[in-house]
């Protein structure tokens, strides 16, 4: 292409103002050699090994879209393709990994952890402004050791008193200061929802048992009452 630059070995640049470095780049024969086209190659790093084994380590199009690890034209602002034995992406803050796309297809957020296959691992708090749904859950839910813990946890959840309760601010509705440790979050400022569900589940099951027991006792009392009425009527 006109005004193109080629550096390296066995490289080709067919687009106008294209720059290619490295060796044996996978070139684009459809590039416009005389005019600027947004979808043409602008910068290419070739990493092929032979004429019949051409490939690119990186491709930048004239519209800014960038591909790493793939020779095709990217249709996203950034397209990363990794081999099956390497992680696709790692983002660090002050030298610490905060985001990683693992070779198993999963993504870890908040630390350098191995996520579940094609899944998500989040280390730290997660906030969602819209609904969250899932087809299945991995059971890592904490469970109360006994009924006493479950009841204490449930009865520790109370609304803030009048004057402090704010119906327009969900952060000022529950009295977090009196939460039982089982349902309190790690930072002590929020409620552990999974633990809450577990505690409520145990309390509900116990209440159902008590209701059934009261029903049985009520039936016995009704039978005795009927017996007494029959005797009185004789």
Q: What is the pLDDT of residues 18-41, one digit of tens each?
A: 999 999 999 999 999 999 999 999
Can you give the pLDDT at residue 171?
A: 81
Q: Half-sphere exposure of 30 toward its Cβ, with a 13 Å CA cutoff? A: 6
Below-70 pLDDT ranges, the chain: 134-140
At 155 the pLDDT is: 96
Which of 150, 119, 115 lies closest to 137, judged by CA?
A: 119
pLDDT value of residue 221: 95
* Confidence at residue 187, expressed as pLDDT on a 0 to 100 scale: 76
Question: 179-208: string of b/e by CB count within 10 Å (b at 16+)?
Answer: bbebbbeeeeeebbeebbebbbebbeeeee
Sign of the alpha-carbon torsion through 211, 213, 216, 217: negative
Long-range contacts, stretch 122-125, CB < 8 angstroms, 24+ apart = 125/187, 125/190
**What distances in angstroms separate CA 208 from CA 46, 196, 197, 201, 214, one per listed residue?**
69, 18, 16, 11, 10
**Predicted local distance difference test score (pLDDT) of residue 137:** 58
Q: Encoding tokens for residue 151? A: 């009841």
Q: Comparing C-alpha atoms, which of 97, 180, 102 is closest to residue 142?
A: 180
Tell me, what's the pLDDT at 172?
A: 87
pLDDT at 136: 61
Cα 192–chain centre separation: 18
Q: Which two tokens stand for residue 175?
A: 């009295």
Q: Give the chain's end-to-end CA distance (angstroms, integer).
A: 116
């Amino acid at each position: 292409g006109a005004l193109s630059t080629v550096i390296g070995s066995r490289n080709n640049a067919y687009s106008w103002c294209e720059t290619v470095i490295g060796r044996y780049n996978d070139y684009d024969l459809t590039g416009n050699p005389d005019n600027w086209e947004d979808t043409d190659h602008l910068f290419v790093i070739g990493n092929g090994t032979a004429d019949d084994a051409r490939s690119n380590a990186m491709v930048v199009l004239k519209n800014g879209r960038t591909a790493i690890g793939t020779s095709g034209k990217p249709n996203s602002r950034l397209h990363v393709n990794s081999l099956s034995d390497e992680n696709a992406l790692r983002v660090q803050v002050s030298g610490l990994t905060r985001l990683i796309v693992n070779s198993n297809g999963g993504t870890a957020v908040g630390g350098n952890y191995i996520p579940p296959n094609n899944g998500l691992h989040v280390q730290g708090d997660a906030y969602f402004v819209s609904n969250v749904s899932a087809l299945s859950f991995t059971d890592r839910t904490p469970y109360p050791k006994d009924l006493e813990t479950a009841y204490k946890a449930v009865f520790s959840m109370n609304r803030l008193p009048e004057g402090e309760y704010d119906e327009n601010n969900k952060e000022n509705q529950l009295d977090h200061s009196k939460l039982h440790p089982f349902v309190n979050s790690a930072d002590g400022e929020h409620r552990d929802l999974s633990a809450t569900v577990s505690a409520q589940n145990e309390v509900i099951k116990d209440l159902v048992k008590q209701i059934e027991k009261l029903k049985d006792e009520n039936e016995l009392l009704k039978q005795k009452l009927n017996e007494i009425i029959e005797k009185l009527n004789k």
